[in-house]
A and B are shown apart, each in its own frame.
Chain A
């Protein structure tokens, strides 16, 4: 036990000397050891990405190698086609960004809140049959997304179970997957605003009018939103449970002794300690929701009236179906840029601000310990900050 502890704490303490010794044979050995994975990643990740980058600035038609002599460099032509909002593909791209934007805005907060809520619930000692509930909530995540999509199409059909249940409450459910009306448009219609005001009729951004941007997710997309929340909150619940189990009982007890109520303990003690996990969940959520594809491909193929078209599906469709490989690759890179930018924004928003020490309810040591354990693989913002100094 003691030797184990010693070996664990050693690297941190003797880091400066170790860094020096890399000059020796160990450095070469290190490179040798990681060479296989560099080769594999290079072959199956870096090279394809570079090839795709080349395709996105070329006029490759999908026949033979993109590096053959007949393929020309066309600069940013493909990018300006989709970002200029001109022509059909530009408008389709704008529509797909609009659709996906509402999908992300709804899914990410809701699934995070729900998974946190579920995690807190099934983490309580008092709950009987915790194992059962954990399994039950996690189950949708294990099932294939294609199978769930088929199930969803069935549940939300015009005469499906969901509408049957709604009819018990005298609500006439919509024909979910066939209804292209935007939810916000429906709500605006209730207050009598069912036509676009003149100011919102012209193309505003990416070839779509302001009125179209304000459509909100269509009824069909809402069904997908519900599905995403249903399937992913189980996975993220698992992450939160892991993090919650790292919050030591002593901290809770101490807070209790200070007279904190249940809600205060959650808000001021538990939640700050979950920050690294929250970051993980939000990041994974953002990436996953911007890349939504399977559901669209197996479910609606972008319909009804293109309201479930997403950039990922549009990229696939332009490349494989329309033979517009350059445009398809360009869409994929724009999507990549969106994800990177949003992740950075989110990281900035969740950064640990310099709170005066006396206002903190959590000792710094405990918080640091939990972050390392709770978010394996993803560096907590706090740790990052420490490294850069």
Chain B
């Protein structure tokens, strides 16, 4: 190739230089916003944006009402944005240095954001911080600091189709209180078209059995995936599946446990309190009852799921955001949310009000006493999904082998 003509070279150089200049502009722009954030401590009038991942109109409406009430009271402008994909939109916000001020934060994402400094650790400043369930506080504690206020929580219970229950000749007395009784009623409820017990194919449901057996994926900071307790629990589940009295919702042709239950494919399912909304909306004709899960060899156990109100470290109005969160987690707001979309308040002092108001769902909040958190360390979500991918073939594999293959993965997550 011949050497390029000087003028051509010049043009290329100019273009390259202008591109570099553009890069520089972009770069410094990002830097600015990143440095600005996190240092502001005085209350400002900057508007507060709230990013939520909503379960539906009822939830959006309820959050809107609560946020509007606070805005008119405090005089700070506040708006609610409903995310179409909360995780992605949060990540985008943090990367650009312009995150939403207040947002829903799941336990899965919590550790990652806490570790990279995206979150404002305001939890210790909360007036009612001692009123939260201890296990919920623990879920949002990173390096001994409570980062954010638990928004609400849900536990898993045993959902029973009352029509099928009566048809099988069972009464209130027969509600299972231990594993033997559970498999016995599951067998009685199983017919040609209906399986006795159904659940989604994931540890987020099967974990109740490991909790009841006294196991868990992480115990006191140590990976205990391959513990004999967990193997016993999965062995028990596998036995029920082999006997044909229990099945995964996916094998029944349903997307999740609630759908299998609503379609009458399973007489009992293990689900959380969100099932109440789903039943009202999608399957209003099915009568059901919620019971506490039976006890295993080591007593009662269930899993709990929660979110917190995260505040961005880069927020322009951290003080305003804190005040808003205080308002959103107040007993009144929490009870309003509970009424609107069926969540359970994260404050212990409101629990009895809640059970009185919703006696049908009281079994869920009773589970709060003995519920386990799923591990939420950074990277634990990936380990859980690896475990889930193996649990899909639980019926044809050896529980101990599954657990042993996941054990080193959990160990490396805890180590790193």
Quick one: given A28-B11, A62-B91, A319-B91, are A159 and B393 in contact (CB under 8 Å)? Answer: no
CA distance in complex: A147, B393 (Å): 30
CA distance in complex: A87, B275 (Å): 36
Find chain A residues with CB under 8 A from B7 CB: 23, 27-28
Find chain B residues with CB under 8 A from A303 CB: 389, 392
CA distance in complex: A330, B379 (Å): 18
Find chain A residues with CB under 8 A from B109 CB: 321, 323
A320 interface neighbour in B26, B87, B117, Cβ under 8 Å: B87
From B34, B112, B389, residue with most partner A Cβ within 10 Å = B389
Q: Report the interface size class on chain A.
A: 35 or more
Does A345 reach chain B (CB closer than 8 Å)? Answer: no
Does A46 reach chain B (CB closer than 8 Å)? Answer: yes
Among the stretches B17-25, B277-285, B361-369, the one at the interface with A is B17-25
CA distance in complex: A175, B92 (Å): 36
CA distance in complex: A133, B83 (Å): 41
Quick one: given A28-B11, A303-B389, are A65 and B30 in contact (CB under 8 Å)? Answer: yes
Does A64 reach chain B (CB closer than 8 Å)? Answer: yes
Find chain B residues with CB under 8 A from A31 CB: 11, 15
A65→B27 contact, CB < 8 A: yes
Quick one: given A157-B253, A159-B253, A175-B250, are A62 and B94 in contact (CB under 8 Å)? Answer: yes
B118→A63 contact, CB < 8 A: yes
Does A178 reach chain B (CB closer than 8 Å)? Answer: yes
CB distance from B72 to the nearest CB of A (A): 33
CB distance from B88 to the nearest CB of A (A): 5
Among B8-44, those with CB < 8 Å from A are: 8, 11, 15, 18-19, 22-23, 26-27, 29-31, 33-35
CA distance in complex: A320, B109 (Å): 10
B382 interface neighbour in A43, A47, A89, Cβ under 8 Å: A89
A320→B88 contact, CB < 8 A: yes
A43→B34 contact, CB < 8 A: no
Q: Is the interface of B mostly helix, strand, loop or mixed?
A: helix
Does A109 reach chain B (CB closer than 8 Å)? Answer: no
A64→B253 contact, CB < 8 A: no
Closest to A68 in B: B31
Find chain A residues with CB under 8 A from B31 CB: 64-65, 67-68
B34 interface neighbour in A27, A28, A39, A64, Cβ under 8 Å: A64
Does B350 reach chain A (CB closer than 8 Å)? Answer: no
Quick one: given A27-B8, A63-B95, A159-B253, are A87 and B412 in contact (CB under 8 Å)? Answer: yes
B27 interface neighbour in A22, A23, A67, Cβ under 8 Å: A67
Interface 0/1 of A21-35, CB less than 8 Å to B = 011000110010001
Does A378 reach chain B (CB closer than 8 Å)? Answer: no
Among B104-157, those with CB < 8 Å from A are: 108-109, 112-113, 115-118
Find chain B residues with CB under 8 A from A65 CB: 27, 29-31, 34, 97
CB distance from A294 to the nearest CB of B (A): 13
Find chain B residues with CB under 8 A from A61 CB: 115-117
CA distance in complex: A325, B11 (Å): 35
B392 interface neighbour in A35, A304, A323, Cβ under 8 Å: A304
Find chain A residues with CB under 8 A from B115 CB: 61
B22 interface neighbour in A43, A64, A92, A159, Cβ under 8 Å: A43
Interface 0/1 of B186-210, CB less than 8 Å to A = 0000000000000000000000000
Does B251 reach chain A (CB closer than 8 Å)? Answer: yes
CB distance from B69 to the nearest CB of A (A): 32
Does B386 reach chain A (CB closer than 8 Å)? Answer: yes
Find chain A residues with CB under 8 A from B175 CB: none
From A46, A68, A323, residue with most partner B Cβ within 10 Å = A323
Does A341 reach chain B (CB closer than 8 Å)? Answer: no
Does A376 reach chain B (CB closer than 8 Å)? Answer: no
A68→B30 contact, CB < 8 A: yes
A306 interface neighbour in B92, B250, B389, Cβ under 8 Å: B389
Find chain A residues with CB under 8 A from B253 CB: 157-159, 175
A178→B251 contact, CB < 8 A: yes
Interface residues of B (CB under 8 A from A): 5, 7-8, 11, 15, 18-19, 22-23, 26-27, 29-31, 33-35, 87-88, 91-92, 94-95, 97, 108-109, 112-113, 115-118, 250-253, 314, 378-379, 381-383, 385-386, 389-390, 392-393, 409, 412
A-B contact pairs, 9 of them (CB 8 A): A39-B19, A42-B22, A43-B22, A62-B118, A63-B94, A64-B31, A67-B31, A321-B109, A323-B112
Interface residues of A (CB under 8 A from B): 22-23, 27-28, 31, 35, 38-39, 42-43, 46-47, 50, 61-68, 87-89, 92, 157-159, 175, 178, 180, 303-306, 319-323, 325
Known: A65-B29, A67-B31, A158-B253. 18 other contacts (CB 8 A): A27-B5, A27-B7, A27-B8, A28-B7, A28-B11, A42-B22, A50-B23, A62-B95, A62-B118, A63-B34, A63-B95, A67-B30, A89-B382, A159-B253, A180-B393, A305-B390, A306-B386, A323-B378
